[in-house]
Amino acid sequence: MTIKKYYSLILLLVLAGCFILPLPNKSLFPEETLTKLSLQNADRNLVLSLFGKPTAIKKSGEYWFYGDSRETVGILGGSGSAIIWDYEWLAVQFDQHDKVKFHEFNESISGCLSTGICNIYGLSGVSTTGNSVLTSPAEEDLSAKNYKVKDNECAVYFYQEPVFHIRMANGPVALTVNDRRIGVINYETYLFLTHATGELSLKAYQFNIHTQCNAGEKVYLKAEEQGWSRKEGKDLAPVPSSLGETEIQKRRLALPD
């Protein structure tokens, strides 16, 4: 929740006759701490000492993400009560020498950074299971969608779709290629990778399928929720290029693991 929206909500509650009780829970990301990330010697060790273990690690450690949720205000009104929660998150990018290359703080649980990185799923300070979905910078998304496949490789695009096109808040699905986990997606995102020609072993949900990686071709792979609930089944299969291209254009590139 942004500061402006936060105070607007408090004002409305006061005008409605509610009793507001501020809760003394400090932010994990105070301004004086974030300023230290701009120091010339800021590196992984400094970040670890300031914020501890990251909530999510992406792109082979190039990005560390932190999510924090905290109770900020208690509300008493009539015969009931409620708690207002605040959700904040931080992205830190490192260079090849483990120095802080980029960092940005966001105070919206579903917010986006100036680079186009968006918090899509799971980065609320609660989940550290490796299922957080965050988008790649906008320029990387554009590059993946317009990628020209080389003669010695294929390109693989992986996305998720519910069979009835009802995008409910189901959890993400992970993709594994030749026994290497690539990353996770949800309905709003896709994964992109290139691979040498030959057979591909692809795993998602409980399925393990095999397909050919032909030189110069794009492989589109769909993970599908079948039925009205997740219990009714899932599927995993390559789809025609025309369909895959259309579906990828609707989504944003997810940061790989």
Domains of the chain, by residue range, sit at: 3-134, 139-253
pLDDT of residue 86: 73
pLDDT of residue 20: 59
Q: Which amino acid is at 28?
A: L
The owner of tokens 């996770």 is 184
Q: Kindly report the three-state secondary structure assignment for every residue of the chain.
A: CCHHHHHHHHHHHHHCCCEEEECCCCCCCCHHHHHHHHCCCCEHHHHHHHHCCCCEEECCCCEEEEEEEEEEEEEEECCEEEEEEEEEEEEEEECCCCEEEEEEEECCCCCECCCCCEEEECCCCCCCCCCCEEECCHHHHHHHHCCCCCCCEEEEEEEEEECCCCCCCCCCEEEEECCEEEEEECCCEEEEEEEECEEEEEEECCEEEEEEECCCCEEEEEEEECCCCHHHCEEEEEECHHHHHHHHHCCEEECCC
Q: What are the residues whose beta carbons fall under 8 Å from the beta carbon of 108, sequence distance 6 or more?
A: 1, 2, 87, 119
pLDDT mean by block of 10 residues, the chain; 257 residues? 49 48 69 95 97 94 89 55 72 97 91 95 70 96 98 96 62 91 95 96 93 96 72 81 96 97
pLDDT of residue 226: 66
CA distance 17 to 152: 69
pLDDT of residue 58: 96
pLDDT of residue 1: 46
Options 3.30.160, 1.20.272, 2.60.40, 1.10.287; CATH of 139-253: 2.60.40
